[in-house]
Structure 1
Amino acid sequence: MQKNSGKSVLLLFILLIVSTLSAGCTDNSSTSQTIQTSEETSTRTLTDALGRTVEIPESVDYVICSGVGSLRYLTYLEAQDKIIGVERSETTNSASNAKPYSLANPQFSTDYPVFGETRGMDDPEKILSLDPLPEVIIKTYSATGFDPVELQEKTGIPVVIVNTGDLADNKEDLYESLRIIGEVVGKEERAEEVISFFDENIADLKERIADIPEEDKPTCYVGGIGRAGGPQGFQSTEPTYPPFLFTNAINVAYGDMDINVADVSKEKIIEWDPEIIFLDLNTIECGEDRSGLRLLQNDESYRQLQAVQSGNVYGVLPFNQYATNFGSVLADSYFAGKTLYPDKFEDVDLENKTIEIYTFLVCKGDEELGREIYNTMINVYGTPAFAKLDI
């Protein structure tokens, strides 16, 4: 009897151990499941440029940028290391692709898989093949390329829309886009630094010329402004060309409602007869027949313009390269200021100023890299920018 009693105690003891171990396993499993569920639901919402409420992960480590300008903005925010793929446009190596943000990041053209074509023509299958998968798709120009709502439905990845904006009439759109992207990738403070950088430089430009009398302002024209279709000839201009706005120059094309902003008639340019001409050197890529430089050198009508006769024709950095290069806009503005009002910009070393701009915006503070970008951009078309052109 005693023997049986001992066996019973031993059996009970074994059952107790098994029960305890089972309970422990169950608790661990339950805790693990709770943590996993918590991670899966750890999200936040933000409002994009279209007013859409988009749910994104609490912390975003991987993104892709679709559409013109979006990767440029991410680079301004020093968050380009979060990308895991690029559009086809980032893989082209040519003068047409001479964008400061790309030049500062050659890995864009070599280290990443392509997830779609240029201008937001995304490929959902290619996006879903990326490893790791992007947690957010940042997209500009929602009306072109792949529809953002459909893209989100097909991939299951949140799509955040931003506008491109500019530094002239649509500055608030630009600043809102920087803030939205900053919110996505956790770079809110950097977004404010970039916005302040733009505002401070624009304020400096305007302050320098605030007391210039109207009669002392020369009439100006800028030709060869690039468009979505690529390089353009001399008749392509910009009525709200920021370097003229920031230096309060008299842009002969400003306010003329009879012109098409993409193309001015030759007769209109001759009628305006500007005192000073600036030429966006991207026009050189049009070739011998259409290049603004060649037209000014060879067209008899253009050669009668007073700016050509006096030798007041100057080359400037590309204004539009896959949307606007805002750093180049600021650099062109300081060049315009020094050209039009040299005494007001006497203390500005244009080379150092341009290097400072590129260093801050696209080089993560690396001044040596900023100097490399400057040297490339100044000479990218063979004809140096920021100098009188040989007309």
Structure 2
Amino acid sequence: MSFKKYTSYIYTGKMLAVFMIICISILSACSSGKQSNMPASSQEAKAAATQGEASGSLPKTREITDMAGRKVIIPSEVNKVYSSSAIGTVTMYTLAPEKLAGWNFALVPGEKKYIDKKYHDIPALGAWSGKKGAANVEEIIRLKPDFILSMGNVDDTQVSAANAIQDQTGIPVVMLDGPLTGMDKAYELLGEYIGEQERAKELGSYCKQAIAETKAMIDKIPEDKMRRVYYAEGPKGLQTDPSGSFHTEVLDFVRGINVADILAQKGTGMSNVSMEQVLSWNPDIILVSVDKEGDLSQGGFYSEVFNDPSWAQIKAVKDKKIYEVPAYPFNWFDRPPSVSRVLGVKWLAGLIYPEYVPLDIEKEVKEFYSLFYNKSLSDSEVSELLQRARAK
């Protein structure tokens, strides 16, 4: 080969090398210029997962799509979960209590009675939602849960909140919708995320069947037999939530007519109403919310209403059709609007429409508490739960 040809080959090779370097540089710049919705920690986790798959070993993380359509990187093996609200905390406790990183608030004695002692003293970490929302961010970060569960309404506001929590803590946030009629799907997905598929299927199947069976009965109730109901909240019973509110799903589902002709209060609900409004609505039935912070031994509004002359002319008071919602360990109707509402649907439907929904409520309560809370109830414990919650 001549020297001229040799130098020509070298020159061509150098030019190709320079061209390849330029192309790689351009591609790298384009890639780095793209913005990602994932926090840096999630991007690193995704890279680690990809490397694990490439090497043939089990990846340490995986990408899921939550119920808000968000792509989230979580550990392949989940051992601890913190929920940003009590809705998710109750769901986690029923599904896998050993994986619950903490309660939102310290348990009160009435709750402890129905909860396994080994979980009484797990930390109270606060919440990002509710009227007392104040999460202990430093402690949550220190405990290092595998992900934070955001369960409840899935809307733009809650998605923004979830993204903000994820950015603030550096911990992935997984969103689940939690409607009364969709708990089977919520359990299915959460069970998949935390590796508890069999237990999730069991709980989800109960929810789906209970909702379907109750609906089949209440759908047969004639319009003229539907009962008018007032949901009394607050220490004086003069706060409430209207039909269509997240807080009154149970009443809407069982086809009770919510008499509260008011606009829904955003956020935590509990719209203020006047005594004159309640008198004008004149409900057939009053459901009384329980404030666990109060001294229940003093009876609260439930006891006072029978002796208050301002309520005396209301039909529900005259007929003694005032019922206190069972609230332990978790409320059957609202606050938090958790899976306990599935039992609440059976209770309320049978309470206000006994001729159309013939249920053995004692048997239903025992079955639910055994399955969801792993608590075998005695007859006396069932009677205590229902003491103010059934027809006299």
Structure 1 residues 209 and 122, CA, compared in 2 at 3 Å: closer, same or farther?
closer
User: Is the contact between residue 48 and residue 162 of structure 1 (CA under 8 Å) also seen in structure 2?
Assistant: yes
Q: How far off its partner does 1:353 sit? A: 0.7
Q: How far off its partner does 1:308 sit? A: 1.2
Superposed, which structure 2 residues align to 1:1-391 within 5 Å? Answer: 41-77=59-95, 79-83=96-100, 85-87=101-103, 89=105, 91-95=106-110, 98=111, 103-110=114-121, 112-114=122-124, 116-119=125-128, 121-130=134-143, 133-140=144-151, 148-149=162-163, 152=166, 156-163=170-177, 165-167=178-180, 171-172=181-182, 174=183, 177-224=186-233, 232-240=235-243, 241-253=248-260, 256-258=261-263, 260=265, 262-263=270-271, 264-282=273-291, 285=294, 291-318=300-327, 319=331, 323-327=336-340, 329-346=341-358, 348-363=359-374, 369-371=375-377, 379=384, 384-388=387-391
Q: SS where residue 355 of structure 2 aligns?
A: helix
TM-score under structure 1 length normalisation: 0.67
Q: SS where residue 175 of structure 2 aligns?
A: strand
How many angstroms apart in 2 are the aligned matches of 1:183 and 1:49? 13
User: Is the contact between residue 283 and residue 291 of structure 1 (CA under 8 Å) also seen in structure 2?
Assistant: no
Q: SS where residue 64 of structure 2 aligns?
A: strand
Q: How far off its partner does 1:300 sit? A: 1.7
How many angstroms apart in 1 are the aligned matches of 2:293 and 2:137? 37
Structure 1 residues 235 and 46, CA, compared in 2 at 3 Å: closer, same or farther?
same
Q: How far off its partner does 1:87 sit? A: 4.0
User: Is the contact between residue 236 and residue 301 of structure 2 (CA under 8 Å) also seen in structure 1?
Assistant: yes
How many angstroms apart in 1 are the aligned matches of 2:367 and 2:220? 27
Q: SS where residue 117 of structure 1 aligns?
A: coil
Q: How far off its partner does 1:155 sit? A: 5.3
Unaligned runs of 5+ in 2: 1-51
Structure 1 residues 125 and 293, CA, compared in 2 at 3 Å: closer, same or farther?
closer
Q: SS where residue 138 of structure 1 aligns?
A: strand
Structure 1 residues 60 and 335, CA, compared in 2 at 3 Å: closer, same or farther?
closer
Q: Indicate the residue corresponding to 1:12 in structure 2.
A: none
Structure 1 residues 279 and 46, CA, compared in 2 at 3 Å: closer, same or farther?
same
Q: How far off its partner does 1:183 sit? A: 2.2
Q: SS where residue 220 of structure 2 aligns?
A: coil
Structure 1 residues 243 and 39, CA, compared in 2 at 3 Å: closer, same or farther?
same
Q: How far off its partner does 1:351 sit? A: 0.9
Q: Indicate the residue corresponding to 2:36 in structure 1.
A: none
Deviations 1:361-386 (A, max 9, x none): 222xxxxx2316x8658647xx9232
Q: SS where residue 103 of structure 1 aligns?
A: coil
Deviations 1:205-241 (A, max 9, x none): 22223333222333222323xxxxxx55412333343
Structure 1 residues 354 and 292, CA, compared in 2 at 3 Å: closer, same or farther?
same
Q: How far off its partner does 1:302 sit? A: 0.9
Deviations 1:8-40 (A, max 9, x none): xxxxxxxxxxxxxxxxxxxxxxxxxx99x8768
User: Is the contact between residue 302 and residue 322 of structure 2 (CA under 8 Å) also seen in structure 1?
Assistant: no
Structure 1 residues 288 and 272, CA, compared in 2 at 3 Å: closer, same or farther?
farther
Structure 1 residues 39 and 155, CA, compared in 2 at 3 Å: closer, same or farther?
farther
How many angstroms apart in 2 are the aligned matches of 1:362 and 1:46? 28
RMSD of aligned alpha carbons = 3.9
How many angstroms apart in 2 are the aligned matches of 1:267 and 1:314? 21
TM-score under structure 2 length normalisation: 0.67
Q: Indicate the residue corresponding to 1:4 in structure 2.
A: none
Structure 1 residues 314 and 287, CA, compared in 2 at 3 Å: closer, same or farther?
closer
Structure 1 residues 284 and 379, CA, compared in 2 at 3 Å: closer, same or farther?
farther
Q: How far off its partner does 1:157 sit? A: 3.7
User: Is the contact between residue 49 and residue 176 of structure 1 (CA under 8 Å) also seen in structure 2?
Assistant: no
How many angstroms apart in 2 are the aligned matches of 1:51 and 1:332? 30
How many angstroms apart in 1 are the aligned matches of 2:135 and 2:185? 24
How many angstroms apart in 1 are the aligned matches of 2:84 and 2:70? 17
User: Is the contact between residue 89 and residue 104 of structure 2 (CA under 8 Å) also seen in structure 1?
Assistant: no
What letter corresponds to residue 126 of structure 1 in structure 2? Answer: E
Q: SS where residue 54 of structure 1 aligns?
A: strand
Q: How far off its partner does 1:286 sit? A: 7.4
How many angstroms apart in 1 are the aligned matches of 2:258 and 2:164? 43
